[in-house]
A and B are shown apart, each in its own frame.
Chain A
Amino acid sequence: MIALARLLAGILAIAACVLLASPLPAAEDPSPDAALTRLLQEQRTALPGACAQPRLDRLTSILCSGKIRIGVRDYYPLFGTRTGETREGYEIDVARAIAAKLGVDVVFERVNAASRIPMLADDRIDLAIATMGHNTQRDREVRFIRPHYYQSETTLVGARDLAVADWKDVAGRTICVTVGNGSNAELVSRGARLMLFDEAVMLPDRLRDQTCTLAAQDDSFFAFYFTEPGFADRFSQKLGFAQVPWGMAVARTGSERLGRALDLISQIFHRDGVFLDTARANRVGTGFLERQRAVWHQPECNTAAGSTNPACVLPALSAALQPTGLADSVTAFEDWLASSTGIDLLLPMLKTVPAWSLFWSGVVNSLVLVIGTLAATLVLALVLGTALSSRFSLLRWGARGLTITLQSSPIVLTLVIAAAILHAMFTYSSSVALVAAIPALGLSNGANAGQAISEAIVTVRAERAALHMDRIELFSRALGRSATQIVAFLINAAKGTPIASFIGAPELLSALTDITSFSSGRVTTYSLLLIFYTAVVMVVVWACGKFRSFLERSHVPA
């Protein structure tokens, strides 16, 4: 009996051991680490046979060759620089860490902003880690790795003692930017005026020589300059805006498994602080990476599916501007003209809603400005002309002082003074700038025309002293005599209206500068601008000619 009991106990113990030792159909490890291990194991077990197959996924071909070709920047301080054969920077170290995680060697290929996407598409590189902002437009061209490995923002840099704390301090200021920067539209919408440069590298020098009081560019770009004591002592970051996540990217086709592996590696690197430590080692800003580390530590994100969870990953920046109803027809016309005549005409102002809106309001404001300036010039010429020929010496000398002052002030300075006075009374807006420009231009030209009227009054008065003319007749005859001068200054006033853009008046020059700051077609745009203003001035010349004839005909016997 006892033996039987021992036998049963032994059988039960063996059964228990067998059960414990046997693999259960247990749940798969949900961690990204396990998912990466499984993916790489699957690929490696298929080697070397899979290497001979056509149309390999790039992950397979990387494992077959033992090398990953990574496109990096050659000169982007702190992120990717090359001195001889030595490369360094945050992106370089990230590239090396990824290669180590995949167990392969890294081969660096030089890319720039223009070549990085074509090189992925042409299979000349497997992966791009090259300061590439992730936006919806690029989503159509490459497959971005999620989560993002960095996030930049546009930063506004200016002299330390310059009081710029928020957006209201930005309105009305001139900011140096690079053409095509996506954040320019935001600056325009905040009432800033833009001074355009082709290359970002020009901006620090223009800040140093005080050509620019403020410059806007990626914080990643300025990060290097702020490591220079001379620069950091003089300048500081005033505002940050337009955050853009930076993504590593692989080709859209043939990189499904590579992309998946990199998603998982990116998750792991955030969770384990690899990105963060690498950034610190390269003196790159770490605010974003610190926040991301906390995100990827959360249980709901730290899973194999974390990179597709919208609660964990950042969305791509929406870069597409809303097209106008005419956009397709305009593009078709541009293509037709280019193919049939070779003329490269680009009309960005007709293709997107923000550009069209700026363009149309620019045309209307320009016409308002021209008409307002002509009216102001005429009225102020009459007032100053009367005052300058007044028999009251106080009034006469006051008017003379004002005339000499206005004649001695360059028009740009007169505009700035008018704008400064109005801005002291009202909050800055483009309408205030427009309102300031009209009397400033009117005064500047009206002073000269007024002087001509007063000189004519003096001569008519001297010639007709014995005729006892009433004041109206005297004035009317003087107007006829000074008609040529009045018309000359009216034309000059119309020609001067585009200068109002200097103080932020939203006329056409200002509008088109804003449009070209975020779109292409500068040559066409500025050619159209020149044609528009020349045509407006010619119409003014024609209208003024009629006006002069009217004034002169009115007093032929005089």
Chain B
Amino acid sequence: MNPLLDRLSSEFLPRFLSGLAVNFEIAGIAIALGLVCGILLAMARVYGGAVGAAAATMIALMRAAPTFVVMFFLLNVIPRNASLFGVPLVLSGVMAVALSLLPYAAAYIADAGVEALQQLRRGSPLGSLLFLPNVTRAFFVLVMSSSAGAAIGVPEGIAIILRQAEQLPSLGDKLALFAVGIVFFGIPLQAGFAVMSLFQRRLSRAVMRNREAASLQRS
């Protein structure tokens, strides 16, 4: 039997897969919250004037805020006994990571949203649909970024791998285990990007065909 497989505990694979599910859960929460905030910011930005300027400043600040620092900021600044409208606010590790990804998600979606709204104004609904692959791309980036949770003890995929690696004696075994992690993270990421590229290409072709048909009609 492979010495690495021999050393891996029988619980490793199910734990790792459940950890990977935590990565997707974090990314899901972040993208959902990011959509709400990002679309509002995009609408404010397109609205223009003082509101637009305030939204632009907000987007710039959110874009500049490092996720890892935001995570530690949230964990240390929100009081343990905080409440919102009388409801206790207990910040779990998963929620802390998801909220730390929110500035990135919201800024990215706001940028993509502004572009989509401008496409709509130009009379290109298909062009505005490019918003969807952009959001999906952001989701996969968030899945990868959610591994920051390992630093605060969130049992996501990378944390499970690192715990297992601590039990392995040699660098070779550790590197082999890390390679397993890269493969498991890489497959959904690369597949997701490939599907999105395909979707984006088809959408672009449809946009081009639409424009050509419109110009033909005009002529």
Q: Are A502 and B69 in contact (CB under 8 A)?
A: no
Q: Least Cβ distance of A335 to chain B in Å?
A: 22
Is A498 positioned at the interface, with any CB of B under 8 Å from its CB? yes
Q: Are A533 and B69 in contact (CB under 8 A)?
A: yes
Which residue from B69, B147, B171, B183 sits with its C-beta under 8 Å from A498?
A: B69
Residue of B at shortest CB range from A523? B77
With A211-B155, A404-B190, A408-B189 known as contacts, the answer to whether A541 contacts B73 (CB < 8 A) is no
Q: Tell me, in angstroms, the Cα distance from A206 to B186 when the chains sit together.
A: 29
Q: Least Cβ distance of A90 to chain B in Å?
A: 31
Which residue from A209, A424, A495, A527 sits with its C-beta under 8 Å from B64?
A: A495
Is A162 positioned at the interface, with any CB of B under 8 Å from its CB? yes
Is B206 positioned at the interface, with any CB of A under 8 Å from its CB? no
Ordered nearest first, which 7 A-B pairs have the shortest CB separation?
A: A408-B186, A410-B147, A211-B153, A537-B64, A498-B68, A526-B76, A412-B147
* 5 residue pairs from A and B, CB less than 8 Å apart: A213-B166, A409-B186, A410-B144, A410-B157, A412-B147
Number of interface residues of B (CB under 8 A): 45
A-B contact count (CB 8 A): 129
Q: Are B65 and A534 in contact (CB under 8 A)?
A: yes
Is B53 positioned at the interface, with any CB of A under 8 Å from its CB? no
Is A411 positioned at the interface, with any CB of B under 8 Å from its CB? yes
Q: Tell me, in angstroms, the Cα distance from A502 to B149 when the chains sit together.
A: 11
With A161-B167, A408-B189 known as contacts, the answer to whether A541 contacts B64 (CB < 8 A) is yes
A198, A211, A412, A502, most chain B CB atoms within 10 A:
A412
Chain B window 184-197, contacts with chain A (Cβ cutoff 8 Å), 1 for yes, 0 for no: 01110110000000
Is B40 positioned at the interface, with any CB of A under 8 Å from its CB? no
Contacts of A211 in B (CB 8 A): 153, 155, 159
Q: Least Cβ distance of B55 to chain A in Å?
A: 17
Chain A window 205-239, contacts with chain B (Cβ cutoff 8 Å), 1 for yes, 0 for no: 01001111100000000000000000000000000
Which of these binds chain B: A18-26, A130-138, A415-423, A478-486? Answer: A415-423
Q: Least Cβ distance of A453 to chain B in Å?
A: 18
With A161-B167, A412-B158, A498-B68 known as contacts, the answer to whether A404 contacts B151 (CB < 8 A) is no
A206, A413, A499, A501, most chain B CB atoms within 10 A:
A413
Q: Are B70 and A509 in contact (CB under 8 A)?
A: no
Contacts of A324 in B (CB 8 A): none
Q: Least Cβ distance of B112 to chain A in Å?
A: 14
Which residue from B72, B147, B152, B175 sits with its C-beta under 8 Å from A411?
A: B147
Q: Tell me, in angstroms, the Cα distance from A416 to B183 when the chains sit together.
A: 16
Chain A window 493-518, contacts with chain B (Cβ cutoff 8 Å), 1 for yes, 0 for no: 00111110110000001000100100
Is B181 positioned at the interface, with any CB of A under 8 Å from its CB? yes
Q: Are A420 and B73 in contact (CB under 8 A)?
A: no
Q: Are A416 and B167 in contact (CB under 8 A)?
A: no
Residue of B at shortest CB range from A535? B64
Is B98 positioned at the interface, with any CB of A under 8 Å from its CB? no
Contacts of B70 in A (CB 8 A): 530
Q: Least Cβ distance of A117 to chain B in Å?
A: 24
Is A522 positioned at the interface, with any CB of B under 8 Å from its CB? yes
Contact residues of B: prevailing secondary structure: helix
Q: Least Cβ distance of A395 to chain B in Å?
A: 22
Residue of B at shortest CB range from A498? B68
Contacts of B190 in A (CB 8 A): 404, 407-408
Q: Are A411 and B69 in contact (CB under 8 A)?
A: no
Q: Are B171 and A420 in contact (CB under 8 A)?
A: yes
Contacts of B162 in A (CB 8 A): 416
Q: Are A404 and B171 in contact (CB under 8 A)?
A: no
Contacts of A409 in B (CB 8 A): 178, 181-182, 185-186
Chain B window 155-179, contacts with chain A (Cβ cutoff 8 Å), 1 for yes, 0 for no: 1011101110111000100110010
Contacts of A212 in B (CB 8 A): 153
Which residue from B65, B155, B171, B174 sits with its C-beta under 8 Å from A530?
A: B65
Contacts of B66 in A (CB 8 A): 495-498, 533-534, 537
Q: Tell me, in angstroms, the Cα distance from A301 to B150 when the chains sit together.
A: 53
Contacts of B148 in A (CB 8 A): 412, 499, 502
Residue of A at shortest CB range from B166? A213
Q: Tell me, in angstroms, the Cα distance from A537 to B107 when the chains sit together.
A: 15
Residue of A at shortest CB range from B78? A523
Q: Least Cβ distance of A73 to chain B in Å?
A: 22
Q: Are A405 and B182 in contact (CB under 8 A)?
A: yes
Is A538 positioned at the interface, with any CB of B under 8 Å from its CB? yes
Q: Are B151 and A420 in contact (CB under 8 A)?
A: no
Q: What 4 additional pairs, Cβ within 8 angstroms, besides A408-B185, A526-B77? A: A413-B161, A420-B165, A495-B67, A534-B65
Is B80 positioned at the interface, with any CB of A under 8 Å from its CB? yes
Q: Are B77 and A527 in contact (CB under 8 A)?
A: yes
Contacts of A538 in B (CB 8 A): 60, 64
Q: Tell me, in angstroms, the Cα distance from A525 to B76 when the chains sit together.
A: 9
